[in-house]
Amino acid sequence: MSPTRRLAWRRLACVGGAVALVCAACSGNPKPVRVVPSASNTRMIDTQGRDIGTAAMLESSSGGLLVLKLSSISPGAHGLHLHASGFCDPPGFLSADAHYNPKNRKHGTKNPQGPHAGDLPNIVARPDSVVDTNLAIPREVLGHIGAGAAAKSLIVHAGPDDQMTDPSGNSGARIACGVLQR
């Protein structure tokens, strides 16, 4: 690689904190991180259909990193899941369907019969109602997110997910949604 190209790559790889974090995480591994096209930049909406932030997926050979930036989320912990259908119709987001669950498991990482493939860790909104977090998405789950009919929805719930109670961890209403595709 020429010095010029190397410099260009370094500039590209270090745009934004999230990408820089990926750089740091794989500093012992020379494999480049592929940043997927803008189609994966998901707009997140609330129950009134208002734009409240974005979810972007960065991919590497080991899986995905979901970069989530939201505002107007009540402070504290909130359940977060991949739901089976790529539809976000407010106000109830019921068209998103149930948690993505191709292996017919029960809900929750603490459930002996779980989890659903779409079960993700709780996210925490700060006192200023902002969520700014990065979540690892296992490669096998990432592989199930496609375009069109294979899109999935990312749903934020009103309360925390107990990672045990079927089917949704007692996490309450669906308060934000975005369609993930890649």
Q: Could you list the residues that contact Cu ion (CB under 5 A)?
A: 81, 155
With 0-12 CB in 10 A as exposed, 13-18 as middle and 19+ as buried, what is 4?
Answer: exposed
Element (H, E) at 123: strand 119-125
What tokens were used for 32?
Answer: 């480049």
Residue 152 touches which of Zn ion, Cu ion, none (Cβ within 5-8 Å per kind): none
Residue 78 touches which of Zn ion, Cu ion, none (Cβ within 5-8 Å per kind): none
Residue nearest Cu ion (C-beta atom) = 81
Compare residues 18 and 137 and give the one whose CB is closer to Cu ion.
137
Residue 119 touches which of Cu ion, Zn ion, none (Cβ within 5-8 Å per kind): Zn ion
Cβ distance 34 to 142 under 8 Å?
no
Compare residues 52 and 117 and give the one whose CB is closer to Zn ion.
117
CB of 80 to Cu ion, least distance (A): 7
Q: Which residues bind Zn ion (CB under 5 A)?
A: 99, 107, 116, 119
Residue 155 touches which of Zn ion, Cu ion, none (Cβ within 5-8 Å per kind): Cu ion
Compare residues 73 and 155 and give the one whose CB is closer to Zn ion.
155
Spatial neighbors of 96 by CB under 8 A, at least 6 apart, are 83, 84, 85, 87, 88, 153, 155, 174, 177
State the DSSP code for 72: S
CB of 114 to Zn ion, least distance (A): 7
Compare residues 76 and 121 and give the one whose CB is closer to Zn ion.
121
Q: Quick check: bond before 75 cis, omega within 30?
A: no
